[in-house]
Amino acid sequence: MSFEEKVLQCRDCGEDFVFTVGEQEFYEEKGFTNEPGRCSDCRTKRRQQRSGPREMHDAVCADCGVETQVPFKPTNGRPVYCSECFGKQ
């Protein structure tokens, strides 16, 4: 089956977005029968709203010693880094 890019309108924001050939191939491979109704940004926002806020955990950076929060429960014996030190790694 050959695909062509389609311009669709997002049901949430009303903006036009492109349903690419690659996305159409992916949908067919996964057996999806409906075209997407939302643009990428609105799909991301909806996903985040459904999953709720991320639970954050207190930690101390193993490199600089600053108190920080991370989106996972720190494990004893494994270093945790603040975002600045993590970027240096």
What digits encode the pLDDT tens for the residues 5-58? 999 999 999 999 999 999 999 999 999 999 999 999 999 899 888 877 778 999
Distance of CA 36 to the CA centre of its chain: 17
pTM: 0.55
Q: Per DSSP, which regions of 20-82 are E strands? A: 57-60, 67-70
Residue 68 phi/psi, 5° resolution?
A: -145, 175
pLDDT at 47: 87
